[in-house]
Amino acid sequence: MAWRDVMCGELRAEDAGKRVTVAGWTDTRRDHGGLVFVDLRDHTGKVQLVLKETGTAHELRNEFVVQAEGEVVARAADAVNPNLATGEVEIQVDELRILSRSTPLPFQLDEENVDETLRLRYRWLDMRTERMQANLRLNHTAISAIRRVMDERGFVDVWTPSMTRGTPEGARDFLTPVRLQPGKFYALAQSPQLFKQLCMVGGIDRYYQICTCWRDEDLRADRQFEFRQLDLEMAFAERDEVLDVMEACVVGAFEAAGRRPPQRPFPQLTYAEAMLRFGSDKPDMRFGMEIQEATEVTRDSEFGVFKNAPCVRYLVVPKTFSRAEQSRLEELAKEWGAKGLANLSQISKFLSERELASFGVEEGSTALFVADEEAVCARVLGFLRLHLANELDLIPGDVDVFHWVVDFPLFEPSEDGGWTFMHHAFTAPNPEYEATFEDDPASALSQHYDLIWNGWELGSGSIRIHDAPVQQAVFRVMGMSEEEQRSKFGYLLEALQMGAPPHGGFAMGIDRFIAKLAGEPDIRQVTAFPKIASGDDPLTGAPTPYPDEALQELGIRVIAPQPE
């Protein structure tokens, strides 16, 4: 005997008269003069069971698992439930078996605003909600679509190790001790970056993986310790060929999810332009309100603050602000690192006709100025733009803007006063900087690119260095001695000296992508078993201390045990 011969959400008017067996969870139960009505639920939906008020029907409680057998009957016209796909029928049950009981529930499935830690503690219950069912299934739908695209384009799924040497992606490593070699550690891969490059040297030509990556960073809406990437690498590929593959994956996932896909090709914006116009390397381009440049026109200003500042930029906001609102914005600007935030209406008396005419501020709008280092102007006005757009409700909810940011700097200043990579150390310089980047790291641009969706960075990639001397020059700029290079990356340098093809690739955060596709505010909502901000797993209680004997075997002594 089969447990079921039809799913709960499948029955329709034309099934009336059939004898069926269904199995699922008791969603709701109502007693009505000698009859019990039960909504039975599985992942396809719900169906109404009508039961005689017998002993078994009486015992039913929410979330009991039952099997019911009976006849499908059409409901009377006034009993049809238009909100239920199966609402035109019900099952007159003559056989009912309780397969599994449930203790009283810590929360009801239809309860709103259940504390998230409680949801995660009882994730198996939370997973039964429509929201989590839809989100977890969307994961599968999107990933299947991406795999189809990769397959059609000849990508080969190659498994790479999780336990490896540290691969620097700019985060801390998670370490794994090794019993056979006490005192030594593997790092859990922050990404398969170097393995995928070695696959190119190995002639795989087109590699991909939906891989797990580990990074020891503070947890946030878009960040967990472990997360998945669509990780890919292509030999003999130009930048736009890599971007084309990624766009096909995005569009494929949108289509599979039944969403209108974004137009291709996605527009490209240089890093310099993104910083100038939007004050961010992941600009939200669903709305305008772009930052304006005023450094030229204010160079000889009578207004000392403008005249003496290396950079002057402003934002025109379609609103006027009260004194209180203006000082609140000034406070925010200071928190973000500005010395102040000038409102044009307060400083116009110090400005020339020429300056005023160039700003082009209409009646009912306000121009807000920051005069500072270029990076401060960009950052503060970028934050302000987003803050005010949210506050003034300027962001349309129903548009999807995908775009690329290209031509990032190759290096950025490091904390110790030297230079470090902006993304990772394997990104190739733009060809025109190849000869000069070592002497002039500050000006060098790279072949790095980012994919942005409505202001969320979905992923990054680059054309890589495939030439050992260039790779060594990058390491030198970062202050690495020959010896350090050899000890940390000797295997890469060797590989680059044994026939490395030009290559490039990309990695997209799958969880971020799916969270946005699902319209969720954070990746925990699309992850089956995520951790909370403290780094705890409320379900299993991990992480936990380990007995001393076990640690001793690994050569580890805990110096400051955490209270449990």
Three-state secondary structure string covering 444-461: CEECEEEEEECCEEEEEE
537 binds ligand ASP per the rule CB under 6 A:
no
Minimum separation from the CB atom of position 192 to ligand ASP (A)? 7
Strand pairing partners for 429? 446
527 binds ligand ASP per the rule CB under 6 A:
no
The site map against ligand ASP for 176-195 (x = CB under 6 A) is ---------------x-x--
Sign for the pseudo-dihedral over CA of 296, 301, 305, 308: positive
243 binds ligand ASP per the rule CB under 6 A:
no
d(CA 307, CA 347): 13
Q: Helix H segments across 279-373?
A: 304-307, 323-335, 344-347, 353-359
Q: List Cβ neighbours of 303 (8 Å cut-off, separation of 6 or more).
A: 347, 350, 351
CB-wise, 369 or 404, nearer to ligand ASP?
Answer: 404
CB-wise, 209 or 454, nearer to ligand ASP?
Answer: 209
224 binds ligand ASP per the rule CB under 6 A:
no
d(CA 360, CA 367): 9
d(CA 51, CA 91): 9
CB-wise, 64 or 408, nearer to ligand ASP?
Answer: 408
For residue 19 the two structure tokens come to: 């004898």
d(CA 510, CA 147): 12
Three-state secondary structure string covering 71-107: EEEECCHHHCCCCCCCCCEEEEEEEEEEEECCCCCCC
d(CA 470, CA 493): 10
Q: List Cβ neighbours of 487 (8 Å cut-off, separation of 6 or more).
A: none
Region at 403 (left for phi over 0; alpha for psi -120 to 50; beta for the rest): beta
CB-wise, 366 or 460, nearer to ligand ASP?
Answer: 460
Minimum separation from the CB atom of position 3 to ligand ASP (A)? 44
- Say if residues 307 and 301 touch (Cβ distance below 8 Å): yes
169 binds ligand ASP per the rule CB under 6 A:
yes
Minimum separation from the CB atom of position 212 to ligand ASP (A)? 12
Site for ligand ASP in 387-406 (CB under 6 A): none
Look at the block and give the residue holding tokens 């925990």. Answer: 524
CB-wise, 422 or 444, nearer to ligand ASP?
Answer: 422
Sign for the pseudo-dihedral over CA of 279, 284, 286, 287: negative
Minimum separation from the CB atom of position 301 to ligand ASP (A)? 43
> What torsion, rounded to 10 degrees, do the Cα atoms 237, 239, 241, 245 define?
110
CB-wise, 67 or 460, nearer to ligand ASP?
Answer: 460
The site map against ligand ASP for 405-444 (x = CB under 6 A) is ----------------------------------------
Q: List Cβ neighbours of 515 (8 Å cut-off, separation of 6 or more).
A: 222, 521, 522, 523, 525, 526
Minimum separation from the CB atom of position 530 to ligand ASP (A)? 19
Size of the site for ligand ASP (CB under 6 A): 10
CB-wise, 462 or 525, nearer to ligand ASP?
Answer: 462
For residue 113 the two structure tokens come to: 């605003």
DSSP structure string for 117-182: HHHHHTHHHHTTSHHHHHHHHHHHHHHHHHHHHHHHTT-EE----SEES---SSSBPPEEE-TTST
67 binds ligand ASP per the rule CB under 6 A:
no
Minimum separation from the CB atom of position 208 to ligand ASP (A)? 11
Minimum separation from the CB atom of position 478 to ligand ASP (A)? 17
298 binds ligand ASP per the rule CB under 6 A:
no
CB-wise, 86 or 462, nearer to ligand ASP?
Answer: 462
39 binds ligand ASP per the rule CB under 6 A:
no
CB-wise, 510 or 526, nearer to ligand ASP?
Answer: 510
Minimum separation from the CB atom of position 229 to ligand ASP (A)? 6
Minimum separation from the CB atom of position 188 to ligand ASP (A)? 13
Minimum separation from the CB atom of position 509 to ligand ASP (A)? 8
What's the full length of the chain, in residues?
564
Minimum separation from the CB atom of position 263 to ligand ASP (A)? 25
The site map against ligand ASP for 491-510 (x = CB under 6 A) is --------------xxx---
462 binds ligand ASP per the rule CB under 6 A:
yes
Minimum separation from the CB atom of position 248 to ligand ASP (A)? 17
Minimum separation from the CB atom of position 512 to ligand ASP (A)? 12
CB-wise, 227 or 314, nearer to ligand ASP?
Answer: 227
Region at 45 (left for phi over 0; alpha for psi -120 to 50; beta for the rest): left
CB-wise, 70 or 505, nearer to ligand ASP?
Answer: 505
φ, ψ at 51 (rounded to 5°): -125, 145
CB-wise, 23 or 510, nearer to ligand ASP?
Answer: 510
454 binds ligand ASP per the rule CB under 6 A:
no
Looking at residue 13, the DSSP 8-state letter turns out to be G
461 binds ligand ASP per the rule CB under 6 A:
yes
209 binds ligand ASP per the rule CB under 6 A:
no
CB-wise, 127 or 210, nearer to ligand ASP?
Answer: 210
173 binds ligand ASP per the rule CB under 6 A:
no
Minimum separation from the CB atom of position 461 to ligand ASP (A)? 4
- Crossing angle for the helix pair 323-335 and 374-391, nearest 10 degrees? 130
Burial of 469 by CB count in 10 Å (0-12 exposed, 13-18 middle, 19+ buried)?
Answer: exposed
Chain residues binding ligand ASP by CB under 6 A are: 169, 191, 193, 229, 460-462, 505-507
